[in-house]
Every structure is written in C-alpha cells, then in structure tokens.
Structure 1
Amino acid sequence: MTAGQLLPGSDMLGACSSGSRPAPMRDALPPLSCLRAFEAAARYCSFTQAGSELNLSQSAVSRQIKRLEHDLGRLLFERHPEGMRLTPTGERYFRVVQRLLRDLADETARLRRRSDDRQLTLASSPTIASIWLARQLPAFQRAHPHLEIRILTVEDPHRLDLAEFDLGIYYHVPGEVDPPDLDAEPIFAQETVGAVCSPAYLERHGRPITPEALLTEHTLMVVEDHYHDWLTWEIWFRDQGLAWHPPHHALRANSFQLLMNATLAGQGVTLGWMRLLEAEFEQGNLVQALPLTLPSRGRLSLFTPQHRHLTEPMKAFYQWVLGRAN
C-alpha cells in the first residue's frame, strides 16, 4: 500500500485527514465472523470441529461459510469421498486470512496489555511453573528489575491461545507433540527420568530392593493425561528391559502437579525429570527410590510463537533462560 492510500472501510481515516479523497468502499471486507468461521473450518477441514472451537453449531458455521462464498462469488470448500477439502481458491484465501487474523490478534493483545513495553507473559504447565520456573524467576528479575512478569498456567500447550502469551516453557517430544505455530528450543541439553519419592516415604515403607518390588510393594503415582502418554511407568520399565505388569497399588490422577505434590507429601513413588527437580533433591525434599534412570524422550523447551516479532522483554528472557540452563 503506497502513501496516501486508505484501507478499505477506513471511514475514520477519511474523516480525520485533510483534503478531499475518494470515499472508501464499505463492503470491500467480508464480516469478521465469516472470516473466523472460515479460518477455523479450513484449519480443521471440519465445520463441526470449527463450531466446537467457536462455540457455534455446525449449521451456524455452514451458514457463515455460504455467506462468505456468496460474497466472494467463489467456492471455498468441496466435498470428496474422504471428506471436505479446500478448493485451490480456498487454500490461497485461507493463507491470507490466517495470517491477517493472527496479526490482528497479536496486535490487539499487545495493545490490551498494561505496561506493554515492560511486561512479559510466560505460559507453562502448573507443574513446571511451580516446581522449576518459580525458582528461576528471582534471578531473572534481579537481572531485569524493570520488567513485569505474568505467568499463565495451561496444562496442555495445544490449548494455548497465541495472543495471550509471549513465551512458553513445556516438555516437548520432537515429531510427536508439536503444538501448532510454535518453535521449540531445548532448555536442557540432556535429561533423565527416574523413580522418585520423599525421604519420609522411604522411612515408612523402606527402599525397594528391585524394580519388581516397586510394582508389588509400593504405591506408584500414575498420571492419566494424554499429553504425558510418552512418559509412563510401563514405558520406563520396558525401555530398560525390565519386566512389567500393572502395579498392585497406585494413586491415579489427571494432574501431574497433584501427583507431584502427593509425592512430596510422602504418598508414593512417581516418575520425575532429574534436571527439573534438581532443587528438590538439593533441599532433601526428594530422593531416588531406585538408582535406575532412563534418558528422557522429551526435553524441557522454550516455545516461541512463529511469525511474532520478539519484544525486548522476550529477547531478554530468551537469552537468559537458554544461557543459564545450559
């Protein structure tokens, strides 16, 4: 767009500028609701899933798409035996709409934030935020006292809204757990997973002599969470060539944070990341129940939204956390 041109529908620009200019076309842009419905439907290739995300019925999404297609005079979707598919026109339009909506969401979130030039919003799981991140932040704040930190806890990074945070800290399994539109960079170069418990638990129940004893004589903490399916007791046993069978005693929950708190309270044995829990080991809150460890498939990683210009607070934390951890 050259100097002096107006965005379609920019009545305010025309009203505020001096001199006479051609009136903008009010109907040049389709309704925002239609664009949101189209972007979600194109991303999922499903009106039903788009409706679920937007809290609309499948028929409401369908009506929005038809309205948009009528406005454009082009078909955006076509049906095939294997399901719905974008037309070539729809694919081109989707790329443009997705980019514009993302930029609009990012800029809107930026303008809504207080003290934007000083605020840094970090997204993380409740467990990582409470056990690791909260212990690291004091040193960062001493190095950058002018910055304001805001922490957003979301268990599953797939549920993150890219407009709500600046950087994320999660465990990442390359090729398996890749949240969309995020780049992941490992914070720890190497990490292992071990069976951990509190000293108080060992005092009451004794240290397991063998892995088999762990399954028969002790309470194992079992997380029921699809995002952590890559880290299970069965995998930990089998990958070390150990015999596996379901534990005789287990405490199950869909929250890893809850199970970790229960472990610290002396209620059982859980799988834990050695680097993540370093402070707990150093302070004597946790010990290894068995001397066996397994290289972690997932790495604690820094998530950076793609297509996002890094602010000064983002750059400062990016350089600090990767340099400090490694």
Structure 2
Amino acid sequence: MRDALPPLTSLSAFEAAARYCSFTQAGSELNLSQSAVSRQIKRLEADLGRLLFERHYEGLRLTPAGEQYFRVVQGLLRELRDETARLRRRGDDRQLTLASSPTIASIWLARQLPDFQRAYPDIEIRILTVEDPRRLDLAEFDLGIYYRVPNEVDPPGLLADAIFEHEMVSAVCSPIYLERHGKVIDAKQLLTSHNLMVVEDHYHDWLTWETWYRELDLDWQAPLHTLRANSFQLLMNATLAGQGVTLGWMRLLSAELDQGNLVQALPYTLPSKGSLSLLTPEHRHLTDPMRAFRHWVLSTS
C-alpha cells in the first residue's frame, strides 16, 4: 500500500542522520553500524521515490525534499517520545528516573539515595547513566544531576539549580599510592616523578591539569608520566586503587576523603567553575516524586 507509513526504524535512522549529516554519528547514537543506517535511508528513499540526501565528497547534505521531511519527522518523533514518556510516568507515578554521569552516580548519588529512600520509602528510583548531559533524551528521565559550567556546558532544554554552591578542586590520590611511590613533595615534583590521571574527554576540558596549575600560578610543564582515558569514572577507580593522582572535586568526594580512601596530594585548592547541579527539563509537569527529590536534594546537600 502506497499510503502505508515507513517503518519507525527507517524514520529514526533518517532523523538522526539528518541531524548529524552523518551516517556514522547517527549509527553511534542508535547503536547501529554505518552501513545499517545507510540501508535504512536507501529503503526510505526507495519508498518515497525521492532522494533525501546529496552525497558529496565533503559529506552529506539534505536535499530540499529531505529538509522538509526532516522537519516533519523530527517533530513527530519528538511528540511521540514525549507522549510515550508521559504515559509511562502515569502508569507508574511513584517511579523517579534520575540521569547522571557514571562517576557522580557511583561516587556521590549512590551514597545519598539511602537517606532519600528512608524519607520517601514509596518512591521507586531508576538511575540512567549518560556521561555527557548534552546527549540526554529529555523524554527518558525526570531529573538530572551533573556538573554544570554556565555558558560553557549548558545543555539545551534544561533548567539548572546548584546543589553545591561552592566547590573546590584539588590534586588527590589514595594512601596506597603514597605508600608505593612516596610523598608528593611539591607541584613541580608531581609533574616529574608521579603518575597523573588525564581525562581525554571534550566535556571535561573546562578543567585540565594545565588549567589547574596556571590558575594557581604554579609552574607548568607537560607531565612525564600519565594514565589517560576517556572515562573519568575509570580514572577515579584507578586513583582509588593506587595508580596515580587525579583532580578531585572535594565536596563530591567528601565521603572518600572522610573515610581516608583519598587524601590531598598537595595543599592547593582551586575554586571550581562548575557546580554540581540539579537539571530539570523545561516545560515538564512536576510529578510528586520529582517535587520530593528536588526539595530533598536542594535543602540537604
């Protein structure tokens, strides 16, 4: 039947490919291969009898028909996601979905939730971990907890309330590391004789080791020994296991510091540009669990 709708999988692949102008990036978002996305687009173009993309050596470009179809498909998929999320929430109005980075979820949020659940035992918690808040689908969660840098890391469609108004950043390591490698004598020796944990992630580039040194008026040079990863959670776990020194947000890591699992490697602290924040989707009707958690986390932290 010519009036039948195309498969949802083809429409989703088209919407993502048009948004990124890339089959590869669309596949990454949808957990599909580049070739699978390409097949879905070809199938959709054959069904419509129109080309949706122009293939150039520089990349993809939407045709005029593709631009118009993209606007329609994107709007419909957004409405479908929002309504699906609303129906799911109505079906279980005691569930609260919290989005957070893996590091914040494991190091801070997991330690705070028992207190919340004792205060609100009827609310069922679901945690969604996404490293970069800019990749969040607003329909998939109720509230988010992320470090936010105003005007730098500002996810669209979200309102932010600071959980920590003031936060300091210091060089931290585990006592195990100091036992194995000796005390960090000064900032210069840290760069020449110790192992620095380095996050290779554009979202965390707003505070690097170099920035930390220069903001504190300490002499900077490229460190001689590093462990690099694109996951702050992985590096934090390695730090706790005694593999090196990392930049640590002191209030976020307060439990680890209080319990002696982490210690300051140097006495310097730098005020953080970012603050741990509660993110609320704009124009979202606040459910009772959302109101309860907002009140609890903003008044107790």
* TM-score bracket for the superposition, by shorter chain length: 0.7 to 0.9
1:233/1:271 contact within 8 Å kept? yes
Q: Partner residue of 2:242?
A: 266
Aligned to 2:288: 312
In structure 2, what residue type is equivalent to 1:223?
V
Residue type of the partner of 2:295?
Q
Q: Distance in 2 between matches of 1:311 and 1:211?
A: 49
Partner of 2:247: helix, strand, or coil?
strand
Q: Which residue of 2 aligns with 1:58?
A: 38
Aligned to 1:168: 144
The Cα of 1:233 is off from its aligned counterpart by: 1.2
| Cα distance in 1 for residues equivalent to 2:196 and 2:7 | 54
When residues 41 and 285 of structure 1 are mapped into structure 2, their CA distance, relative to the original with a 3 A threshold, is: closer
Q: Secondary structure at the match of 1:222?
A: strand
Contact kept, 8 Å, 1:186 with 1:299, in 2: the verdict is: yes
* Residue aligning to 2:109: 133
2:15 pairs with 1:39: yes
Question: Is the Cα contact below 8 Å between 1:195 and 1:269 reproduced in 2?
Answer: yes
For residues 222 and 132 of structure 2, the distance between their equivalents in structure 1, rounded to whole angstroms, comes to: 26
Q: CA deviation at 1:224?
A: 2.6
Q: Deviations over 1:269-324 (max 9, x none)?
A: 11000111112222222221111112222222222234433222122212221222
2:269 paired with 1:293? yes
Q: 2:195 aligns with which of 203, 208, 219?
A: 219
Is the partner of 2:222 in helix, strand or coil? coil
* 1:62 Cα deviation from its structure 2 partner: 5.2
| Cα distance in 1 for residues equivalent to 2:45 and 2:150 | 35
Of 252, 266, 269, the match for 1:276 = 252
Query: Helix, strand or coil for the counterpart of 1:164?
Result: coil
Distance, in Å, in 2 between the alignment partners of 1:173 and 1:235 is: 15
TM-score, structure 2 as length reference = 0.80
Q: Quote the residue 1:108 is aligned against.
A: 84
Between stretches 286-295 and 179-188, larger displacement belongs to: 179-188
Q: Which one of 197, 200, 208 corresponds to residue 173 of structure 2?
A: 197
- Unpaired stretches in structure 2, ≥5 consecutive residues: none
Q: Which amino acid aligns with 1:233?
A: W
Identity %: 73
Which deviations, in whole Å up to 9, do the C-alpha atoms of 1:72-116 show, x marking residues without a partner?
xxx98889999736759946x755543432232233245457961
Deviates more, 1:40-49 or 1:194-203: 40-49
Alignment check: 8 A CA contact 2:13 2:37 kept: no
2:121 matched residue in structure 1: 145
* Counterparts in 2 of 1:89 and 1:270: CA distance versus 1, 3 Å: closer
Matches within 5 A, 1:116-127: 116-127=92-103
2:215 is matched with which residue: 235, 239, 256?
239
Cα RMSD, aligned residues only:
3.4
> Does the 8 Å contact 1:124/1:152 carry over to 2?
yes
- d(CA) in 2 for partners of 1:308, 1:256: 30
TM-score (norm 1): 0.75
Q: In the TM superposition, what is the alpha-carbon distance from 1:152 to its structure 2 partner?
A: 1.9
Measured at CA, do residues 78 and 251 of structure 1 come closer, stay the same or move farther in structure 2, by a change above 3 Å?
closer
Bigger relative contact order, structure 1 or 2, given CA contacts below 8 A and separation 6+? 2
Structure 1 residues 188, 86: closer, same or farther in 2, change over 3 A? farther
- Give the conservation status (yes or no) of the 8 Å contact 2:22–2:59: no
Segment drifting more, 75-84 vs 278-287: 75-84
Any stretches of 5+ residues in structure 1 without a counterpart?
A: 1-25
The alpha-carbon deviation at position 147 of structure 1 amounts to 0.2
In 1, Cα distance between equivalents of 2:256 and 2:273: 22
- 1:250-272 CA deviation, whole Å, 9 max, x = no partner? 23333222222222233321100
Number of residues of Structure 1 aligned to a counterpart in Structure 2: 295
SS in 2 for 1:57: helix
